[in-house]
Amino acid sequence: MLSTALLWGLFAGFLFGTGDVLTRLGIRTASPYVAAVITSSVVCAAFAAALYLRGLGPEHSWTAALWFLLMGLCSTGPGRLLFYFSVRRIGVSRASVLVAFTPLFSILIAVAFLGERPSILLLVGTVLIVGGIMNVVMDRSRIRINLRTALLGLLPALVYSTSPVFMRLGLLAHADRILGNAVSALGALFFMFAMTPAIPRENRWNLDRRAFLTFLAAGIFYSTAFFAYFSAMGASSVSFTTPLIYTMALFSSLISRIFFQQLEQITWRLAISAVVVCIGIALISNSRGG
């Protein structure tokens, strides 16, 4: 079961990282809000179609559906919106490395509410994660990150950290990955549209055709990533799975470095920081956390 969770988790990390890079490409000529709405709509449509073709089945749980809905409303929706604004401000690599703090928060929540008990490796992993993040904050390359920007970059991590807990509770009530993704994506969309009045007009619907196609592609990657995410979470604990998902920081940095050097300056210091963070979360994933 752990090997299954490992493969699904790393696959999800790669897909999320690729989707994040595509999103960064799109928001050069579009707003983060419209990016969040389009990518969330693609995920919702993909799993709604899968659910329609498959049907609800003879067994379904309203308790599970409620947990999945809360995941979208309270975590995926607000987390994605905050993350996209962070990506636009500081770049996908820095934003992804900062959001890699999510596993630490998720593990603490899992300990408090799910009774998971991580081992001493968690402490070592935590030190590496904090060290990697501090290295990003202190980086003085073309795109600087001051303390205020770093704190804003960590906000998505705080919000995202509840996502695996909601997901795990939903899967324990009813292990249906298609239903879980469809309902959570719908909850995320509800949140996006509810937030429309709070978004300044100039940051709402400005979009060109190229960005629209890029967001569609990102949404396809995210849809597959969420299926892999649910599969990994169904096979193991929050403590084991969440750090694997957030290897997205490493994947997004590498993809940006190799294919899109004109998109943003990716320094070797930043790349090393991403690797250090990923070593930390790998140690956490090997702790006996569930």
For 157-190, write each residue's pLDDT tens digit: 889 999 999 999 999 998 899 999 999 999 999 9
Q: Which range, of 44-48, 58-62, 100-104, averages the lowest pLDDT?
A: 58-62
Check whether 285 has a pLDDT greater than 70: no
Check whether 76 has a pLDDT greater than 70: yes
pLDDT at res. 93: 64
Q: Name the region of 118 (left: φ>0; alpha: ψ -120 to 50; beta: rest).
A: beta
> How is residue 50 annotated by DSSP?
H
Q: Which residues contact 246 (CB under 8 A, 6 or more apart)?
A: 13, 99, 100, 102, 103, 281
Separation of alpha carbons 73 and 16, rounded Å: 19
pTM: 0.85
Encoded amino acid at 49, one letter: A
Quickly count: other Cβ atoms within 10 Å of residue 123's Cβ.
12
Separation of alpha carbons 195 and 188, rounded Å: 11
pLDDT top residue among 194 and 1: 194
Q: Give the residue carrying structure tokens 């490992």.
A: 6
